[in-house]
């Protein structure tokens, strides 16, 4: 980068300050790359670009390279397993359950049910438990997840043998028991 370009960069007031640690050579290298990206963006968009736009462009470029890298890895390694974290699954179920567990008085029994209002967090807890205790057995996991509805209908034939509803002879449900066909269908 020439001295005149450095002076132009120094004169320009950035929208925020960027500091880089390391040797002067490393700093010059980083700021040089930053300035060249800014120049490319300025030419491309026909207007001056701030630090924020430069950083956004860097992130976009990095993400594109990362996506390409992930795609190449999948293509090169056919044994690669793509999986989501448990959190993603539970979050989407909680979100869907929240939608059918609250609503206006006029839409109760149509788009939501009061009988589901206390089920969001307990269902999430049960899902976490089922996933952790299935021992990678798909059928065991499926059975445990499908049993959630029966458990809240106060039917405990398929509940785990260590569950309180099986162990405690005086067990009383602490949640609203699902009796409504609408609530069952929404669940």
Same domain, 53 and 144: no
32 near 63, Cβ under 8 Å? Answer: no
pLDDT band of residue 115 (cuts 50, 70, 90) is very high
Same domain, 94 and 30: no
The answer as to whether 90 is a domain residue is yes
61 near 34, Cβ under 8 Å? Answer: no
Same domain, 129 and 169: yes
Domain-ending residue, one of 57, 76, 95: 76
The whole-number pLDDT of residue 29 equals 79
Residues with Cβ within 8 Å of residue 171, at least 6 apart in sequence: 164, 165
The answer as to whether 152 is a domain residue is yes
Structural domain range at position 57: 3-76
The answer as to whether 56 is a domain residue is yes
Axis-axis angle for helices 120-132, 86-99 (nearest 10): 150
Q: How many other CB atoms are found less than 10 A from the CB of residue 187? A: 20
Residue 10: Cβ-neighbour burial (10 angstroms; 0-12, 13-18, 19+): exposed
Is the per-residue pLDDT at 185 higher than 70? yes
Is the per-residue pLDDT at 150 higher than 90? yes
- What's the number of domains the chain is made of? 2
The answer as to whether 81 is a domain residue is no
Give the mean pLDDT of 22-31. 77
């Amino acid at each position: 980068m020439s001295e005149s370009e450095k002076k132009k960069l120094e004169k320009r007031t950035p929208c925020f300050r960027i500091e880089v640690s390391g040797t002067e050579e490393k700093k010059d290298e980083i700021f040089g790359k930053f300035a060249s990206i800014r120049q490319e963006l300025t030419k491309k968009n026909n207007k001056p670009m701030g630090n924020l736009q430069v950083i956004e462009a860097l992130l976009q470029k990095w993400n594109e390279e990362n996506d390409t890298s992930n795609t190449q890895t999948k293509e090169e390694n056919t044994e690669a397993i793509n999986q989501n974290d448990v959190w993603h699954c539970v979050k989407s179920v909680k979100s869907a359950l929240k939608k059918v567990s609250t609503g206006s008085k006029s839409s109760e029994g149509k788009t939501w049910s009061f009988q589901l209002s206390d089920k969001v967090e307990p269902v999430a807890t049960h899902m976490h438990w089922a996933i952790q205790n299935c021992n990678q057995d798909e059928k065991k996991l499926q059975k445990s997840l499908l049993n959630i509805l029966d458990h809240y209908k106060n039917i405990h034939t398929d509940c785990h043998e260590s569950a309180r509803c099986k162990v405690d002879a005086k067990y009383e449900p602490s949640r609203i028991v699902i009796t409504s066909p609408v609530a069952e269908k929404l669940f």
